[in-house]
């Protein structure tokens, strides 16, 4: 794959749980080595994106490429076919995911779980990794993630409600609402001068709750 080509390319994907459409025609691209923060209200589709990339959920429609290869389809004789389990297993080797940290490997401490990241593939997905931690551990975990970002070329996608950390950590921020990307840009653009009314309203509530952005 060319260094200038996206390592993740998502094209018009949809996903529903029963009658609830959690992703609605969503498209996005992530460049190699990019650090992306996904923010937005609960239920907006952020975690679902990570689970789809990790093949823990199947898409209902659209296409995803990881490192130049189709994720949920295989190309055979010029046709796209539904991926079999062997193909999905091979694609999973390109991606690692850290959930709430204490649940990842119960026999390891929180810091051990975070520092496993360099042993994993090209892309790391972090899903609310500080949400279940004691406050004194939150900053320590974020420092480890900052170090990983500074010392590796790993592509990282972070779902978080820690807006201050998202501002400091990410190269780009995506604001999700109702299964769509409402606004995206550099951290200062999103947190200091959001253009969309929905983004502005969300951040005002975050600030009113006493969180740093």
Domains of the chain plus CATH, in order, are: 8-208 (3.40.50.300)
Query: What is the C-alpha separation between 27 and 16, in angstroms, rounded?
Result: 16
Residue 118 has pLDDT above 60, yes or no: no
Query: What is the C-alpha separation between 168 and 139, in angstroms, rounded?
Result: 13
pLDDT in tens, 151-208: 888 899 999 988 998 999 999 999 999 999 999 999 999 999 999 999 999 999 988 8
pLDDT band at 83 (very low <50, low <70, confident <90, very high): confident
Question: What is the residue-wise DSSP string for the chain?
Answer: --TTS-SEEEEEEEEEETTEEEEEEEEEEE-TT-EEEEE-STTSSHHHHHHHHTTSS--SEEEEEETTEESSEEEETTEEEE--HHHHHHHHTTEEEE-SGGGT-TTS-HHHHHHTGGGS-SEEEEESTTTTS-HHHHHHHHHHHHHHHHH---EEEEE-S-HHHHHHH-SEEEEEETTEEEEEE-HHHHHHS--SHHHHHHHHHHHHTT---
Which of 158, 123, 161 minimizes the C-alpha distance to 42?
Answer: 161
| pLDDT reported for residue 107 | 43
């Amino acid at each position: 794959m060319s260094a200038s080509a996206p390592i993740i390319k998502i094209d018009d994907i949809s996903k529903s749980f029963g009658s609830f459409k959690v992703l609605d025609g969503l498209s996005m691209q992530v460049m190699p080595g990019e650090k992306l923060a996904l923010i937005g209200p609960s239920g907006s589709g952020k975690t679902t994106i990570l689970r789809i990339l990790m093949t823990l959920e199947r898409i209902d429609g659209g296409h995803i490429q990881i490192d130049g290869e189709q994720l949920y389809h295989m190309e055979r004789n010029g046709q796209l076919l539904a991926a079999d389990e062997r193909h999905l297993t091979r694609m999973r080797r390109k991606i690692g995911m850290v959930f709430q940290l204490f649940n990842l490997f119960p026999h390891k401490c929180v810091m051990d779980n975070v520092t496993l990241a360099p042993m994993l593939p090209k892309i790391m997905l972090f899903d609310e990794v500080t949400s279940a931690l004691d406050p004194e551990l939150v900053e320590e975990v974020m420092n480890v993630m900052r170090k990983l970002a500074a010392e590796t070329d790993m592509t990282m996608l972070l779902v978080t409600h820690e807006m201050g950390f998202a501002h400091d950590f990410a190269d780009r921020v995506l604001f999700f609402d109702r299964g769509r990307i409402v606004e995206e840009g550099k951290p200062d653009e999103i947190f200091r001068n959001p253009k969309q009314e929905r983004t502005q309203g969300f951040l005002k509530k975050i600030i009113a709750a006493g969180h740093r952005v």
